[in-house]
Structure formats: structure tokens, C-alpha cells
Amino acid sequence: MKKIPFVTKEQIEKIAETYPTPFHIYDEKAIRENARKLKQAFSWNKGYKEYFAVKATPNPYILKILQEEGCGVDCSSATELMLSDACGFSGSDIMFSSNDTPEGEFRMANEMGAYINLDDITHIDCLRAETEIPETVCCRFNPGGVFQMGTEIMDNPGDAKYGMTKEQLIEAFNRLKELGVKRFGIHAFLASNTVTNEYYPTLAGILFALAVEVKEATGADIAFINLSGGVGVPYTPDREPNDIAVIGDGVRKQFEAVMVPAGLGDVSIFTELGRFMLAPYGGLVTKAIHEKHIHKEYIGVDACAVNLMRPAMYGAYHHITVLGKENEPCDHKYDVTGSLCENNDKFAVDRMLPQIEKGDYLFIHDTGAHGFAMGYNYNGRLKSAELLLKEDGSVQLIRRAETPKDYFATFDFSDILKDMKY
């Protein structure tokens, strides 16, 4: 599918008068429409709720939009819990799906009334040691082996650090029951960024069968099945996006085939989507500031991997549109680079694009999730602003750009920098 930015060159020129590039910009209207489609797709399930994975886009303005659309939040750290608390999420609006959990975080989550999702059987004792055992507890499942759909290997749970084995999960349910837990959840995340309508229904089939087996083995009252994240987006233009209505219906079919006959027709379905909720509705806007002709052709831009790490970290493809040149032929081959002293700081390698001039604005697509959030500060580079394109077409600053002062803030205890003039 042809990728079209949700902003034009004219809009960006205007925005850049107030907010210099680089910046991430999010499309409020599209975020809301997509959240509504998701809700509709699972409306057959009475207790359905999406818990947005905060780590994907940890911005309070974004969380508020999703809250208005009926979403909760999925947190896995103390600061994500704090952010969610400040945004007004509480109790069953919060899923705490942590792993390798630092001491004190279960207590914090429990005091907020969040659902706690235990990554390991040994965490039962950690939970007990720091807080009262809640009435409802979720356990995370890892089936091991490879996760296959038909003949295609989707991912490798046997190699993943998350979750517990089936035997451990059954033992955990029995122990938790003895400790007074009344209701249970089951969670698994078996494949990331799946661009197929079959992932969730296949996962649901596995978890529903597990729920029936666990209920028979332990007598546990199953309250919810958490399908977690993993529904993806097409980063490349040659792929078709997932159809969430088809996905929801596929899960419904599994539910009716497996859960309803087992007397589990009241169980709620939860999701913890991050990428699907936000990725296509955010873009990184950056300006071409240099061109360089050596053994290859380079375009240097004012953003770098600090603003978007996925290409450097995973070799991930992000589509690029040169604003105002949407209809020009892609007859130039470029590496599009940032300024880090790291040769992997490239947003694109050997990418066919229209001829780029200094001053052109580039729109890097699909940065709305796991984009800004992964940023770091290598080479002393600062993180950018985040902007919201609102439904009425106006633009709101939803995070200011970092300043050198932010970068040096962790030395505020020290005398060496106290007379710094920046």
C-alpha cells in the first residue's frame, strides 16, 4: 500500500516556524479511529479491554487520548506506573506485566489496584514478601519451542526469557489458590510485529485450550485471557495492513469453539497492543542539512538514531517520503544518515528516493510506537519534541525538546558543572 504522510510540506513548513526539526508528530484523528475499530472488533466479548503498552509511546497526552477511547494501560516499571497514575489510570485500568521485577514494584502496582501479571513462579514469593496477595493474579505462559503458523516460523518462545512453563503455571495457580487468590488471568506474548490476521486467533486457540486444561487441573476461576501485544503494522509499502475486524472475528470463532463449550463463555479478553495502536500514526520529521558524495551518495539530516533507534538497532525499515516530492520519480539512491559517530546511524541504506536538496523535509513513517520512546543520548545528542496534530488541524506541543540543561541535570549534585553557562 502506498504510504502517504498525514502532513503536507506546507503544513510542516508552517509548524517548523514554531517548532524546529527534528520532531515526532502524531495524528490524533487516526489514533482515535483505530482505537475505535479495535474496540468494535472485540465488542462481542463483554469484558474486552485494551491495555495500551505504555513503553511504546510514554506520553501523557497520548495516554489521555487512549483513555478517552476506553483503553487501560500496560506497565512494566515503576515510572510507567507513576505516569499512568498521574494520568488518572487506576485499579483494573492497569495491567502490570513486568519481568525481572525490581523490589518494591509489585507493592506499588498492588497499591494502585493494578492487575499483576507474574512472569515467573518464583515471583509468587517476591509478591508475598512485599505486599498482600491480591484477589486476582495473572500468570504469563511460555510454551517453549518455536511458534509456528502453518509452516511458517513466527518466533522463538523457547529462546525467550518471558513466562513460565505449563507445569509451572499449573503449580503457580495451585499455590496462589492456597494463598487466597480468587480469580486468575492467563497471558502470553509469542510473536512480535505480526503482519497477518492469523496471529491473534492462533494465539487465542493456544491460550483458550490452556485455560480449559488449567481450569480442569486446578479448579481455578479464570477471569481473563490476555493476548498481549504483537499485532503489527506494515513498515514496508509492499505489505497490507492487518484487518482488525477480521482478527477480532477470528478470536471470536476460537472463543466459541473452545471456551463456550467448556463453560468459560464469561471470560474477558484483554489485549496489550502498543505498535498497532500508535506506530502508523506517528512520523519523525527531519530536515536534510548536508549532502555528501564519496563512494556512495549520502544525505545528512538533523535527526539521528537518538530520535529513532529501530534502524540502527534492528536494521528496521522505515519508509521515507520527501515532502513536496511525493510524485517525483525515485531515481536517486541514497544513504540517509544522522550525525552520530556510529556508522549504523542511518535511517535508510541504498534507498531509492527523489533527488533531495538541502532544506527538504523528510517524513520518516511509522515512528508512533517504539520510536521516540527508545531514544537515548549518545554523543550528547538531545531528544526531540513531540507534537500532536489535533482533529481540528491545529498543532499542540506534547513534549518539549530536551535542552543541554536536561542532559547535564544528573550532575546537579556536583560542583564541577555548577558555573556552567549553558
Residues that bind ligand PLP (CB under 6 A): 53, 55-56, 74, 97, 189, 192-193, 228-230, 272-276, 369
Shortest Å distance, C-beta 389 to ligand PLP: 22
Rounded-to-integer distance, Cα 397 and Cα 79, Å: 22
Cβ distance to ligand PLP smaller for residue 7 or 369: 369
Closer residue to ligand PLP, CB minimum distance, 36 or 400: 36
Name the minimum Å distance from CB 74 to ligand PLP: 5
What whole-number distance in Å separates Cα of residue 110 and Cα of residue 311?
37
Nearer to ligand PLP, 53 or 62 (CB): 53
The smaller minimum CB distance to ligand PLP, of residues 232 and 250, is found at: 232
C-alpha cell at 351: 534507498
Residues 347 and 308: beta-carbon distance below 8 Å: yes
Euclidean distance between CA atoms 146 and 269, whole angstroms: 24
Q: Closest distance between ligand PLP and the C-beta of residue 299, in Å?
A: 29
Contact 400, 386 (CB under 8 A): no
- The residue count of the chain comes to 422
Which of residues 201 and 274 has its CB atom nearest to ligand PLP in the complex? 274
> At its nearest, how many Å lie between ligand PLP and the CB of residue 227?
9
The three grid cell numbers given for residue 263, joined into one nine-digit string = 463453560
Supply the DSSP string of 376-399, one letter for each residue: --GGGPPP-EEEEE-TTS-EEEEE
CB 338 within 8 A of CB 288: no
Pick between residue 56 and residue 108 the one whose CB is nearest to ligand PLP.
56
Q: 225 - beta bridge partners?
A: 186, 269
The answer to whether 237 and 319 are in contact (CB under 8 A) is yes
Q: Closest approach of Cβ 162 to ligand PLP, in Å?
A: 8
54 versus 323: smaller Cβ distance to ligand PLP: 54
Q: Helix (H, G, I), strand (E, B), or coil: what is residue 297?
A: strand
Smallest gap, in angstroms, from Cβ of residue 185 to ligand PLP?
Answer: 13
Q: Are 299 and 335 in contact (CB under 8 A)?
A: yes
Q: Could you tell me which residues are beta bridge partners of residue 387?
A: 25, 397
CB of 223 to ligand PLP, least distance (A): 18
Given the complex with ligand PLP, which of 310 and 351 has the nearer CB atom? 310
Output 310 or 399, the one with its CB closest to ligand PLP: 310
Shortest separation between residue 310's beta carbon and ligand PLP, angstroms = 12
Strand 183-187 and strand 282-293: the pairing is unpaired
DSSP track, 335-377? EEE-SSSSTT-EEEEEEEE----TT-EEEE-S-TTTTGGG---
8-state DSSP, 154: E
Distance in Å, CB of 230 to ligand PLP, minimum: 5
Nearer to ligand PLP, 19 or 189 (CB): 189
C-beta of 97: minimal distance to ligand PLP in Å?
A: 4
Buried b / exposed e over 8-19, threshold 16 CB at 10 Å, is ebebbeebeeeb
Question: How many Å apart are CA 48 and CA 56, to the nearest integer?
Answer: 21
